[in-house]
Amino acid sequence: MTTKASNRGAAIEIRSITKTYGDFRALDDVSLHVEPGEFMTLLGPSGSGKTTTLNVVAGFTDLTSGTLLVGGKNVVGVPAHKRNIGVVFQHYALFPHMTVGRNVAYPLTLRGVGKAEREARVLRALDMVKMRDFAHRYPSELSGGQQQRVALARAIVFDPPVLLMDEPLGALDKKLREWLQLEIKRIHRELGTTFIYVTHDQEEALVLSDRIAVFNRGRIEQVGTGRELYDEPSTLFVGRFIGDSTVLRGGARSDGTGTALKIADETVTTPRRLSGDVTPVMLLRPEKLSIRRPGQPAAGQNRLSGRIAEAIYLGSGSKYEVALGDGSLAIVRSSLTDESFKIGEQVDLWFDGADAKLLADDASAETTLT
Amino acid sequence: MEMKPLTRAVLGLICLLVGIWLVAPTIVVAPMSFNGVKSLAFPPRGFSWQWYENFVTSPDWSSSFFNSLKIACLVAILATVLGTLAAFGLDRMRARPANLIRMLLLTPMVVPGVVLAIGIYAVYLDARLVGTLTGFVLAHTILALPFVLIAVSANLEVFDKRLETAAASLGAGALTTFRTVTLPLIAPGMLSGLLFAFATSFDEIIVSLFITNPYLRTLPVQIFASITRDADPTVAAVGTILLCVTTVLIGGGMLLLGRERRGRS
């Protein structure tokens, strides 16, 4: 099965698709290219259009306009059952009146695969998800995690060139979810199938994906690897959605040397500048901020004073929420070797201007997140 | 809270009395059917199987029995097909018009039987359907359809439509999906509807009395005719048989519905 893994997946080309329900634009001119065999995650808050995109690719939802190519062929108007695309649902969707074995055999029976080959392929698929011993059980006798593994076997048993997964781990608890994430990653590697994975959990997206498409209000904000999205977010929404971040807002001034923001009575600067008529804000990752007691030597070009509002012990270190002079919260991480701080304590935060991302302010970035 | 012994005794007595009151008519029929003499007096005197023999051998009784059987079978099939289709249609409609149509389809359960009977009789006179098999089947189907609609709708309510989406993603077209996924999962509802429909037709009397004629009599009509003419204990024998048949059918239907509900909860 693994020998010709590299040429098994199909490319997916989504070209400016739009889907409207009355006045509501569920998808607004979305374009996305997925490489053959790539693990692409559609990430975003609920109602952002990621599931609608998945349903459009699966053929469950019709397009209002746009083009969709799977493996180079236009599939607009092709009904779901003729697309040969595997789908794994959040709610498992196993047929309750069939055993695990018959569930997995179902797509093969429909394709007229002979009995001997069918049985061999069912066992191979169940092997892949480590459920071989359960072939004679009914879905109601299995746990949620086991049911989802059977559903995965059923979706890959007919060797589809594309596998779609719609929040498949959403109903499972954290430990099981983390273990199954690794299983899904392994199966993707072994199959070489193109995976499109929908989730609202950014950590899950970072663990699994080759690339991530971040959705917001029916549009794609940015597509990139996890590292690109974390280090170089192109919009404030992406910066806020991926990982922890501190956003600094305040009377901005730009000149030839860079941009300065005024936070309460302190001024912070960065050599970066934004073009166009936008309000710049600074986005800082927790590890770019250093936390020090007042009076200790400087640890960067910019200093902001604040008060510890929350101290969270994480085992490998601590996370602090620091209330700044203007009332906004900064998020800082410190390792165990650093000294620890108590709630209410006065502290200084230090950072280099070059480590701050300068982005256009977008009030909706905050409202969509909460 | 613990019940006082006296309260418990009084409560038990009341329950027993109500229970006896409810099943007494049924209990009376069975012994009468074994009456040794030709009388409907209770308690019966002596013991004999002769009234059961009479039921089997008399052409009046056996022909009416087979009429009822034939009509009930046709009604069960027709009502199950129509009721299932209706349940499906209503399930996939918007809630407001669906509820309106559902109420309309259930009216035969609420409208007094006599009123229905008069209406049907009036139409049948013109349409020359009085005393015909078609007439009986059509009339009884009106009465049986609500039972199928209720049973199948209850089943569809717990049926997970997302399974149909899943089947489509695995390569099944609409018809294949219906045959391999939907139908097996709503079969219990359909079967329980079928049993209720059969029983409804098999013991229907009010409408049947209006649209019967000497050439086509159903079993309940024959019982009624017989008992108004003379005190023939054969009616008790037939009644006992009817009782057994409907108990088995309705019991089976309830069991199917109940199992379906428990299975999904």
Task: Report the residue count for chain A.
Answer: 370
Collapsed DSSP state (helix, strand, coil) of residue A129 = coil
pLDDT of B141-174, one tens digit each?
999 999 999 999 999 998 999 999 999 999 999 9
Task: Specify the amino acid at residue B126.
Answer: D
CA distances from B21 to B13, B26, B35, B239, B247 (A): 12, 10, 23, 19, 18
Q: Inspect the interface and report whether the beta carbons of A80 and B169 lie closer than 8 Å.
A: yes
Chosen from B163, B170, B181 to mutate, greatest number of chain A CBs within 10 A:
B170
Q: What tokens appear for A354 in the block?
A: 């070059």
Q: What tokens appear for B138 in the block?
A: 């059509």
What residues of B are in contact with residue A163 (Cβ under 8 Å)? none
Collapsed DSSP state (helix, strand, coil) of residue B52 = helix
Residue B182, pLDDT score:
93
Q: How confident is the model at residue B26 (pLDDT cuts 50, 70, 90)?
A: confident
Nearest-Cα residue of chain B relative to residue A86: B169
- Residue-range domains of chain A with CATH: 5-239 (3.40.50.300), 244-369 (2.40.50.140)
Chain A residues near any Cβ of chain B (below 8 Å): 58-60, 79-82, 84-87, 89, 91, 93, 95-97, 106-107, 110-111, 154-155, 158
- The Cα of B201 is separated from the nearest Cα of chain A by a number of Å equal to 32
What residues of B are in contact with residue A155 (Cβ under 8 Å)? 169-170
Helix, strand, coil percentages (3-state) for chain A, rounded to 5, are: 30, 35, 35
Residue A5, pLDDT score:
43
CA atoms within 13 Å, Cβ hemisphere of B174: 2
Using the Cβ of B169 and the Cβ atoms of chain A, whether some distance falls under 8 Å is answered with yes
For residue B242, is pLDDT > 80? yes
Please answer whether residues A200 and A320 qualify as being in contact, where contact means their C-beta atoms are separated by less than 8 angstroms.
no
For residue B125, is pLDDT > 80? yes
Q: Is the dihedral of CA A136, A141, A144, A145 positive or negative?
A: negative
Residue A1, pLDDT score:
40
Say how many C-beta atoms besides its own lie within 10 A of residue B199's C-beta.
Answer: 23
Nearest-Cα residue of chain A relative to residue B187: A97
What residues of A are in contact with residue B184 (Cβ under 8 Å)? 97
For residue B14, is pLDDT > 70? yes
Say how many C-beta atoms besides its own lie within 10 A of residue A183's C-beta.
Answer: 16
Q: Inspect the interface and report whether the beta carbons of A95 and B173 lie closer than 8 Å.
A: no
- Residue-range domains of chain B with CATH: 50-264 (1.10.3720.10)
Of B168, B169, B185, the CB nearest to A97: B185
Q: Inspect the interface and report whether the beta carbons of A81 and B172 lie closer than 8 Å.
A: yes
What residues of B are in contact with residue A165 (Cβ under 8 Å)? none
Tally A–B CB contacts below 8 A.
Answer: 57
Residue A369, pLDDT score:
61
For residue B90, is pLDDT > 90? yes
Residue A3, pLDDT score:
40
Nearest-Cα residue of chain A relative to residue B169: A81
pLDDT-wise least confident of A20-34, B14-28, B82-96, B244-258: B244-258
Mean pLDDT of B11-20: 94
List the end-to-end C-alpha distance of chain B, in Å, as a whole number: 30
Q: Inspect the interface and report whether the beta carbons of B170 and A95 lie closer than 8 Å.
A: no
Residues lower than pLDDT 70 in chain A: 1-7, 336-338, 367-370
Chosen from A61, A110, A152, A166 to mutate, greatest number of chain B CBs within 10 A:
A110
Residue A337, pLDDT score:
64
Scan for tokens 């956003």, then name that residue: A247
Identify the CA nearest to B203 among candidates B71, B58, B111.
B71
For residue B122, is pLDDT > 90? yes
Chosen from A54, A81, A152 to mutate, greatest number of chain B CBs within 10 A:
A81
The residues near B105 (Cβ < 8 Å, ≥ 6 apart) are B86, B145, B146, B149
Residue A142, pLDDT score:
94
Q: How confident is the model at residue B48 (pLDDT cuts 50, 70, 90)?
A: confident
Residue A124, pLDDT score:
94
Q: Inspect the interface and report whether the beta carbons of B162 and A91 lie closer than 8 Å.
A: yes
Output A205 or B31, whichever has higher pLDDT.
A205
For residue B24, is pLDDT > 80? yes
Identify the CA nearest to A302 among candidates A260, A361, A264.
A260
Scan for tokens 């917001």, then name that residue: A216
Nearest-Cα residue of chain A relative to residue B159: A96
